[in-house]
Amino acid sequence: MLDGINVALVDWSRAQFALTAMYHWIFVPLTLGLGILVAIMETLYVKTGNPEWKRITRFWMTLFGINFAIGVATGIILEFEFGTNWSNYSWFVGDIFGAPLAIEGILAFFMESTFIAIMFFGWNKVSKSFHLTATWLTAIGANLSALWILVANAWMQKPVGMVFNPDTARMEMTSFWEVLFSPMAVHKFLHTTSSSFVLAAIFVIGISSWYILKGRDIVFARKSIVLGAVFGFIAIIYTIFTGDSSARDVAHYQPMKFAAFEGLYNGSEGAGLVALGLISQNTADPTNENLKDFTVKIEIPNILSYMAFLNWNAFVPGINDLIKGNEKYGVLAAADKIIRGKIAIEKLKAFKEAKKSGQIARADSLKTEIMSPEFQKNYFSYFGYGYIADVNTLIPSVAFAFYSFHIMVVLGMYFIFFFLMALFYTIKGKIHKKKTFLRIAIWTIPLAYLASQAGWVLTEVGRQPWVIQDLMPTMAAVTKISVGAVQVTFWLFAIIFTTLLIAELKIMMRQIKIGPKTEGGAK
């Protein structure tokens, strides 16, 4: 059992990582989506030769550059935290986790840093086609950066393509392609990037709406809105499909997270989806603060079963089933998993002691047993449970998971209608008359960021207490440093990141007020 100091260390280390990740994620989605939009805009300029499209491209490219520069700073800090705050994790899976991060740094970041200079400073210095190629490669490079980060994150949610080496007590990669193309990684990448495209499209429409309200740059604004609305509508439809696939992955590989974001306490066949719900402050179970009662909820019958298993009557395990077990449906109790995890840990300790003391025959026998398929399946697959002292810690915050999921879904539905209305009003030539819609468009920008952040809160909070699903909990992954050191860096990062965010907002707003420029640099 952890003492108070260790609990505080885990909590502060988690808080610091969450702080860094959430600030970083403010900048990343706009970079991913706006990069693609800028590339499309420049493609239209090259194809049509219309100088207005060049003017449009250069304006949005400037905003892309401002956002890109500040996003890089927070991303670098985020990667360093794996070594400073989560060194046990880095040691345990560094051979696997380090591979996609290294590729991200060498390949994707190299592409961005190489071609972004041509993209910004190559106008009228290189040919149109070469400049367009540089713009597309910059946008693709940014999304490749996201690919490798998301591959690493997906592996933490569903570890594949690896084997445990008892001699080094580390996980080692056996198949890079299995790690790269695991369903969790593919669906996570597609869902995250497509949702980022949605955010960028809303950003373009919102800023363009501000120009129309001010009676400025009307042609520029209308063209930007049409492109943003078409791009955003396609992206939101695709986001919904990829989100459905991602939810199915969660149901199969992270059933506790799935149950938490639906507030499903008791599993059932033909489980219903909670369309709307309000969680009270009262606990459904007095032994765990994370379990909250519902004041009211509206369910749609059978939808959850179909979402999880493509079967309207499939059994979906609830939180209580996953903790107490359900023999009828083959759900193993958490207490049994803890026992199996402890057996795996004890076998590893026995092997290390035998090896250290020179008992070669015993060490070889234990290693053979540990590496056997039966032991790997029935015991080592629950290795992380051996560190769990209280089964209640296996339950994430239901309120956080439930609201994050439903905020994301409700806003996603709203965005569909938002893009359709923006496109309809603009094509019909009525957009300048729709003052209320234009104001709504501006306020939809923060809603897009809210939906994006809610997705990451669900992803990370919902999988607690696991750093690596079933194999390593946060308490075993954290670096053994003083709580005070983590607290100091937490507040330093909070101040630095907030300053960076304020700086970006001021620079962005200043650039927006200046507006798009003509070829000669004047308004």
- Residue 330: CB atoms within 10 A of its CB come to 9
Shared domain for 167 and 189, answered yes or no, is no
Main-chain dihedrals φ then ψ at residue 158, nearest 5 degrees: -145, 90
| Same-domain pairing of 210 and 102 | no
**Do 296 and 271 touch, CB atoms closer than 8 A?**
no
Q: Mean pLDDT of residues grouped by 10 in the chain (523 residues)? A: 66 92 92 96 95 95 90 79 88 87 78 85 91 94 91 93 91 93 94 96 97 93 96 97 94 94 91 86 69 83 92 94 94 96 95 92 93 94 94 92 93 96 93 94 97 93 93 92 92 92 92 82 49
200 and 56 within one domain: no
**Is residue 6 a part of any domain in this protein?**
no
- What lies within 8 Å, CB to CB, of 177 at 6+ separation is 161
φ/ψ bin of 481: left (φ > 0), alpha (ψ from -120 to 50), beta (otherwise): beta
Could you tell me if 166 and 189 lie in one domain? no
Residue 88 domain boundaries? 24-178+481-511
pLDDT value, residue 494: 93
Q: What does the pLDDT read at residue 293?
A: 78
Q: Is residue 39 in a domain?
A: yes
**Are 172 and 206 within one domain?**
no
Residue 392 counted as domain residue: yes
Which bin fits 325, alpha (ψ -120 to 50), beta or left (φ > 0)?
left
Domain stops at, among 396, 425, 445: 445
Does 192 share its domain with 328?
yes
Same domain, 122 and 218: no
What pLDDT shows up at residue 1? 40
In the chain, the number of structural domains is 2
Give a yes or no: residue 408 inside a domain. Answer: yes
pLDDT of 101: 84
